[in-house]
Amino acid sequence: MILAAGRGERMRPLTDRIPKPLLTVAGRPLIEYHIEALAGAGFRELVINHAHLGGQIERALGDGRRWNLRILYSPEPPGALDTGGGIFHALALLGDGPFAVINADVWTDYDFGRLHCPGDSLAHLILVDNPGHNPDGDFLLSNGRVTGEGRGSRLTFSGIGLYRAALFKGCRPGAFPLAPLLRAAMARGEVSGEHHRGRWLDVGTPQRLEELNDFVSNLV
């Protein structure tokens, strides 16, 4: 699942007429980098949620056949359902097994084919070095386990994770964040993780979008 329902407030005015996942990087929509990487890693079914200008996303990406996968869409009401509510809303489309979830507004060279959720985990999170805009990090990683409390150096959650539907047990339809569910599972020792030391960028502002555009343009 690619989370693409955000309004992109920090990207305005760019996102007033174009949804953030369709903003271009080196001449291509940002979300296409994820789709191509997922297809290359062997994924064959993909769910994309949307709200703000979501029709543009469906028209731009279609049914996914050009990447040799199938895209299903999970429309949300105006204002969207937040991260947790958006995933919960799409559970019927995601199947019974563990499913990957990626924020549309990040760029990374992480190999999605490596994603694996240990049998005793409800979630497996990909963590990265702390960027300048999040110097204190989010979570601790020790011996393959992610915790929210304790001493030590924190890392930043990349917006890439693998989840089991049981993480959302007891949730009800509506808008709600994902973080409290993750923190509760961490307290029970049910969240694993890994440290990705490669390239990653949260494309949250026009400045970071410009930086990424310059970087990727020089790659190609």
pLDDT tens profile 90-145? 999 998 789 999 999 999 999 999 998 888 899 999 999 999 889 999 999 999 99
Does 10 score more than 90 pLDDT? no
Does 219 score more than 90 pLDDT? no
Residues 6+ apart with CB under 8 A from 167: 122, 123, 181, 182, 185
Please tell me the distance from the alpha carbon of residue 14 to that of residue 17, in angstroms, as a whole number. Answer: 7
The predicted-structure confidence for 139-154, as pLDDT tens digits, reads as follows 999 999 999 888 888 9
Q: For the chain, what percentages of helix, strand and coil (3-state, to nearest 5) are there?
A: 35, 25, 40
Please tell me the distance from the alpha carbon of residue 116 to that of residue 112, in angstroms, as a whole number. Answer: 9
Question: H or E stretch including 177?
Answer: none
Q: How many residues does the chain have?
A: 220
Angle (CA) 49 50 53, round 5°: 165
Q: What homologous superfamily is domain 2-201 in, according to CATH?
A: Spore Coat Polysaccharide Biosynthesis Protein SpsA; Chain A (3.90.550.10)
Does 183 score more than 70 pLDDT? yes
Does 27 score more than 70 pLDDT? yes
